[in-house]
Structure 1
Amino acid sequence: MTQPNRNPGQVCRRLRWIGTTALAAAIVPGVALAQAADPMAGKVGRTVSETHAPEWPSEPTAPKNAPNVLVIMTDDVGFGVTSTFGGPVPTPTFEALSRNGAKYTRFNTTALCSPTRASLLTGRLPQNVNMGNVTNLPTGFDGYTTVIPKSGGTIAQILKESGFNTAMFGKGHLTPDWEMSMAGPYDRWPVGLGFEYYYGFLSADTSMWNPSIVENTTPLEPPHNKPGYHFEADMADHAIDWIRKQHAVAPDKPFFIYYAPGLSHTPHHAPKEWIDKFAGQFDQGWDVLRQQIFERQKKIGIVPADAKISPRPDSMPAWSSLDAEHKKVYARLMEVFAATVAYSDYQTGRVIDELRRSGQLDNTMIVYIEGDNGSSAEGGLQGLAFEQSSITGRSESFGELARHYDDFGGPEVYNHFPAQWAWALNAPFPWWKQVASQAGGVRNGMVISWPGHITDSKTWRTQYAHVSDIMPTVLDAVGVKAPEVLDGVKQKPIDGISLKYSFTQPKAPSARRTQIYEMMENFGIYKDGWMAGTLPKRAAWEAGASGDRRLDIGPDQRVWTLFNLDRDFTTAVDLSKKNPAKLKELQNLFWEEASKNNILPIHDYSQGTEGRPTLGGNRKRFVYTPGLTRIHEDAAPHTIGRSFTIEADATIPEGGANGVIITQGGRFGGYAFYLKDGKPVFHYNAVGDDQFSVRSDVAVGAGEHKLTARFTADAPKPGTPGTLAILLDGKEIASGRIGRTVAGWMSHTEGLDIGRDTITPVDPDYTVADSAFSGTLSQVVVTIAP
């Protein structure tokens, strides 16, 4: 609008009048601005007295009587693990909610971490929000980039815009690798996905004793001098603290909390006193354990009395075939896993107890899902002392595993149990995590509690449900509609179906009639009680850096199975040969649905990776100054399979210096260049027993120096050995062999640090507490060879 011409003097006089009148109104009772005479009235527009009443930006208000919502999702807990669903691990918190809640026996996930979590939060199939695999393994095909689009808004975003406070605790695993550095963007960090507060870890897993913590967008160092510290308890403490503050400040405002323990995923870390509770409880072995779970499931009504159970796969050894030492080690690994499940349930119970203490429990809807997929067989037939062995293409001997018997569950290892335990714990179903085409990969126990809104809690809910149904169920319960436009972006259709009808109609027919699955090239389709799906072409433990890709086996060469789930709850009887017409019908439906839902082409995660976004992958020179820490792996120098040089300009004080120049990774894989007793050392931690150090016997004198570490790879390929030389002011002072380098990720939990080491030390030669460089670093330059 064009403003009228005004005399500058008039404007100044008017401003002086406004200021004087405002001051009078502020200090003299009864003097109102609107009552003051305006000498300019009628000359320059409306007077103050003619303005409208005060108006403020509106705040969203939740629907009247909307409940709080707490969604809990644990990690890698199979259908037959918990006592609530016939398993061997007591889960009293889960059990207590089930007594007055709805228990679901045909609830399904996606068979893998990130896809399940994306589906849970967005209400869509994972491929419809680009999360067709874990964020660590993206490809450039539609549905698999791991970049959740703004058109796939989350339940947290919707509820925040609808008057709820929102918070998330625990495992994220929804942020693309190239967006996990401090350069952001933060759109797909929890705070960008609708959560006003976040406390947890962004990656697939982390050490529970020395976690890689993020609060909102700030990396935090875990406590290093707090005896007994464990992240699961720390996470519960932060959730309780947030609930108390939220309720104190806004008691009438409902909240949405997503509580995501990562504890039962590798590493299986639990306090020793909890591990000891399970001493001797699994000495009977996996064959007997699976049968025991099956019988309990029959007894409590989950499994029909005439149901059959599938046999142990031929690839897995019988427990009776093992010697005493193998049985001892394997039983202990299972005891540790059981402790993680029980300890997690206990800490979750503390959070729920806070709701009870504050009088909020009766007005809180709780969705408690035990597992984001079936139990994990990724530990292989032997189990692992270090998950990173599989990730980085390293083989562990049983002798190495056995030597760590007393370490299992503690901070020095990253242990995982043998795959046979996963098979047993997914009872009554065959298969495991990663296998979306079979019930053992996708079937998980779930309980929904909402006091006063659920009837007949003794009746098991058998409606076929999918993790994408949680979002529409919650929205239905709180009285909020999924918006067509969110933050100015038109939204994708919701794939999920509300389960609210099952709250008061426990025997109602399934509202969901069709569900498609695809994960890691395992694909299938459910339709009106029938399930058709492929058998896996490789074992779950072959998906690491040294795994067999088997790219010569295409989707059209896969073996299919067919089950009538209404008559065969346990999927023990394959009908594919007896009923080829039904199989063909479902196969055709699969390809039809796959073409509609961003699932095609079905491909290996090693295909379609060309041009993947990266912050550091295409750079050859990196210049760092001291104080930089926690630089994510994608943003750090990509040294795997390459020759590289590290050059540090340092000033050494009189008497020498100690401490870290540069590290990447930590206790479970990485490298460190540092001074020890004034002498340069380069250590390459290739996981477990594969440790290589090159040490100089020359102390660095006082003054300004250039310290160099130069690695020359034997071959340009991941895992290559090589020669490491240390130079002082251009002169070689030490040289030695690095017998092996990592073939996969350097570290998916710890980053690159300059001038100190954080979280855990790469080399036990020093500690995090004493790792700070005691000289002065001006810069550190890393150069990747052509």
Structure 2
Amino acid sequence: MKKAILIITLLFSGSLFAQKAEKPNIILILADDLGYSDLGAYGSEIKTPNLDRLAAEGLRLREFYNNSICAPTRASLITGQYQHKAGVGYFSNDLGLPAYQGFINNQSLTFAEVLKGAGYTTLMAGKWHVSGKNQSQPWQRGFDHSLLSENGSYFDQGDYGSDEKKYYYEDGKPYKLEPGSFYVTDVITEHAVKYLKDQNSEKKPFFMYLAYTAPHWPLHALPEDIAKYKGKYDIGWDELRKQRFAKQKELGIVPKDATLSTKNADIYDWSKLSYDQRKQWATKMEVFAAMVDRMDQGIGKVLDQLKQTGQDKNTLIIFISDNGAPAEDWVKWHNGATRNTGPVGTIGSYESQGKNWSYASNTPFQAFKDYVYEGGISSPFIAWYPNKIKAGSISKGTGHIIDLAPTFYELAGAKYPAKYNNANTFPLPGKSLVPVLLGNDTEVKRGEPLFWERAGNRAVRDGKWKLVSHYPSYTWELYDLEADRGETTDVARTHHEEVSRLSTAYFEWTKRVGAVDFSTIEDREPQTMKDYRKSKVQDPVSTGGGGLQ
């Protein structure tokens, strides 16, 4: 009788093993410099069958935000804090203030530190970009295993960055590879698959942070991938943008009556380029597409490994990008052209796609990486969790990278500690996405605005309203994103009360997170970053621009 009661009790309440098995594995995949429309599931012609499958079997959000550029996005993503609060308010450079020290502080816990405390194996492969002064490396911030590979070239470890970044690092030790014998996207994938194989014997849930460097410049790709796109981009960026916008409407990523942002004045006129110039520019986009393609192939291998071990049935996968497609021109920045000793795509080249193609990558939005218009801060968002997330669903969302940490902690049953290693931790400002992912909510019920500041560029989003200013201007622009997500019509002059309300909220936020007026610290900006900002300015084709320099 007692035995029967025990069996019935286990059936209804669940055994300890069953309860443990309910904790999901979590994989967070981050692309670098991928535009909003660069995946098939978001309107692209680039072959991304694995990510498209995750989208078809999962959820896509129309509105999901990042921090417009690499390091500040990663700091917020990894900690769940606004980037200034985490210590990376500007970039991975120390500008002399706690909010701008350039690496994650001890009061901002990484998701590896929190999830490890909840019984997770913590794994990382790829780009980190939030460490400095030999502090806040992944092996110092809660990761059981990590491959750190964040320097420039895809074929050569030692051609870019400081001495400490000459090599990749695995678990804190140099991981050296022979130049020309590897392709970094494949190296990241191989380590991710290896870590998944190794952890399977531990019988613990795992968290993996898979941070590809693709498709960030330099434009480097494998010949077999480039071959798939030969001639694909001879149509030019204007026609490509039209095609992607039409597909986005068909997919339901943008409404049928969506507004397309106004073309930037300095985007080259494709029709005025010579035949040779068109071919040179088309080659750039062929290589960019090949880089995205190879990343998707790697994600397919990760999915295959999950399926082989049966872990796919209890794994949440989130895919996002760290910022919009970039405006910078490597040829004009930091003497980059001196590295061009071979065709675009090869080990000797060092090109970027430039804002002309990024104009199409960020369809249907305005502006680029480092700007806080929609083109700079909007990311594709795919969530996949078999039998938990409704297949083929698309929601508004209005999520932000600060929301992912509380989402993971809720699903994992992880407690966010008030104190960790004798440091008082900062509270999490984000909201869990669980009601949107697994419930009936179509967007985050935040109850407060979202805020951005990056090198003087500022923005506030609250409901349908978005307030924006672009440095060095201090003039506020106001957009109604429900009617005009392309940010084509500034309505600040007719809605003074909203400008006042949102700007007041912005300045109150800066006090809470430690953000300062950029003009007060601009003189501390490294010369390379000053050159970077200047490199985004492009001469119109009418004044002699339009070809490769």
Fold-level similarity (TM above 0.5) = yes
Q: Does structure 1 conserve the Cα–Cα contact (< 8 Å) formed by 2:435 and 2:441?
A: no
1:532-551 pair list within 5 angstroms: 532-535=467-470, 537=471
Give identity over the alignment, percent.
27
Q: Does structure 2 conserve the Cα–Cα contact (< 8 Å) formed by 1:62 and 1:163?
A: no
Offset of residue 223 of structure 1: 2.6
Compared with structure 1, are the counterparts of its residues 244 and 170 closer, same or farther at alpha carbon in structure 2 (3 Å cutoff)? same
Q: Distance in 2 between the 1:86 and 1:585 partners?
A: 36
Would you say 1:220 and 2:175 are equivalent positions?
yes
The corresponding residue for 2:161 is: none
Offset of residue 508 of structure 1: 3.4
Would you say 1:590 and 2:469 are equivalent positions?
no
1:755-774 pair list within 5 angstroms: none
1:436-447 pair list within 5 angstroms: 436=372, 438-447=373-382
Which of 349, 352, 361 is residue 416 of structure 1 equivalent to?
352
Compared with structure 1, are the counterparts of its residues 190 and 534 closer, same or farther at alpha carbon in structure 2 (3 Å cutoff)? same
Q: Does structure 1 conserve the Cα–Cα contact (< 8 Å) formed by 2:127 and 2:213?
A: yes
- Deviations along 1:541-563, whole A, 9 cap, x unmatched? xxxxxxxxxxxx4xxx4232211
- Deviations along 1:221-241, whole A, 9 cap, x unmatched? 213474xx2121122112211
Q: Distance in 2 between the 1:96 and 1:562 partners?
A: 37
Would you say 1:236 and 2:182 are equivalent positions?
no
* TM-score, reference length from structure 1: 0.61
The corresponding residue for 1:105 is: 62
Offset of residue 418 of structure 1: 2.2
Compared with structure 1, are the counterparts of its residues 218 and 595 closer, same or farther at alpha carbon in structure 2 (3 Å cutoff)? same
What's the secondary structure of 1:518's corresponding residue?
Answer: strand
Which of 55, 70, 77 is residue 34 of structure 2 equivalent to?
77
What's the secondary structure of 1:447's corresponding residue?
Answer: strand
- Deviations along 1:504-551, whole A, 9 cap, x unmatched? 34553431241000112110101122101013x4xxxxxxxxxxxxxx
- Deviations along 1:71-110, whole A, 9 cap, x unmatched? 1001000101111111221211111111121111100000
- Deviations along 1:562-590, whole A, 9 cap, x unmatched? 11112223333322233233223222221
Q: Distance in 1 between the 2:148 and 2:301 partners?
A: 17
Offset of residue 365 of structure 1: 1.0
Tell me how many residue pairs correspond in the alignment: 504
- Deviations along 1:338-392, whole A, 9 cap, x unmatched? 11011111112101210011111011111111x200001112xxx63xxxx51x2
What's the secondary structure of 2:143's corresponding residue?
Answer: coil
The corresponding residue for 1:206 is: 152
Q: Does structure 2 conserve the Cα–Cα contact (< 8 Å) formed by 1:462 and 1:507?
A: no
1:404-483 pair list within 5 angstroms: 407-436=343-372, 438-455=373-390, 457-483=391-417
Compared with structure 1, are the counterparts of its residues 217 and 62 closer, same or farther at alpha carbon in structure 2 (3 Å cutoff)? farther
The corresponding residue for 1:284 is: 235
Would you say 1:190 and 2:138 are equivalent positions?
yes
Compared with structure 1, are the counterparts of its residues 168 and 428 closer, same or farther at alpha carbon in structure 2 (3 Å cutoff)? same
Offset of residue 337 of structure 1: 0.6
Q: Does structure 2 conserve the Cα–Cα contact (< 8 Å) formed by 1:63 and 1:479?
A: no
Q: Distance in 2 between the 1:347 and 1:78 partners?
A: 19
The corresponding residue for 2:103 is: 147
How large is the Cα RMSD of the aligned pairs? 2.3
- Deviations along 1:703-738, whole A, 9 cap, x unmatched? xxxxxxxxxxxxxxx99xxxxxxxxxxxxxxxxxxx
Q: Which of the two has higher C-alpha Rg? A: 1
Q: Does structure 2 conserve the Cα–Cα contact (< 8 Å) formed by 1:62 and 1:253?
A: no
The corresponding residue for 1:168 is: 124
Structure with greater strand percent: 1
The corresponding residue for 1:46 is: none
Would you say 1:299 and 2:233 are equivalent positions?
no
The corresponding residue for 1:377 is: 327
Would you say 1:138 and 2:138 are equivalent positions?
no
What's the secondary structure of 1:462's corresponding residue?
Answer: strand
Would you say 1:263 and 2:214 are equivalent positions?
yes
Would you say 1:486 and 2:413 are equivalent positions?
no
What's the secondary structure of 1:414's corresponding residue?
Answer: coil
Q: Distance in 2 between the 1:92 and 1:308 partners?
A: 28
* TM-score, reference length from structure 2: 0.87
- Give the aligned residue type for 1:454: I
Q: Distance in 2 between the 1:225 and 1:415 partners?
A: 18
Gaps in structure 2 of 5+ consecutive residues: 1-17, 158-166, 533-549
Structure with greater helix percent: 2
Compared with structure 1, are the counterparts of its residues 576 and 236 closer, same or farther at alpha carbon in structure 2 (3 Å cutoff)? same
- Deviations along 1:455-504, whole A, 9 cap, x unmatched? 2x333110211001111111111111212122332210101110000123
Offset of residue 264 of structure 1: 0.7
What's the secondary structure of 2:37's corresponding residue?
Answer: coil
